[in-house]
Amino acid sequence: MSRRSAVQLLAAAAVALAATVTWRLTRAPPRDEDRIRALLDSAARAAEERRPAEVVIALSERFRGQGLDRQGVKQLVAWQVLRGEWVAVSIAGAAVAVEGDAARANVDAILSRAAGKGKTLAGLLPGEATAHRFACRLEREDGEWRVVSAEWRPISLAEAIAGPPDPGAPAPGGGH
Residue pLDDT, tens place only, 47-85: 889 899 999 999 999 999 999 999 999 999 999 878 876
Please tell me the pTM assigned to this model: 0.75
Domain formed by 31-162, architecture: Roll (3.10)
The residue ranges of every structural domain in the chain are 1-29, 31-162
169: Cα separation from own chain's centroid: 21
Which H or E element spans position 53?
helix 52-55
Highest mean pLDDT (candidates 8-22, 111-125, 161-175)? 161-175
Above 70 in pLDDT, residue 7? no
What's the whole-number mean pLDDT along residues 151-170?
Answer: 88
Average pLDDT, the chain: 83
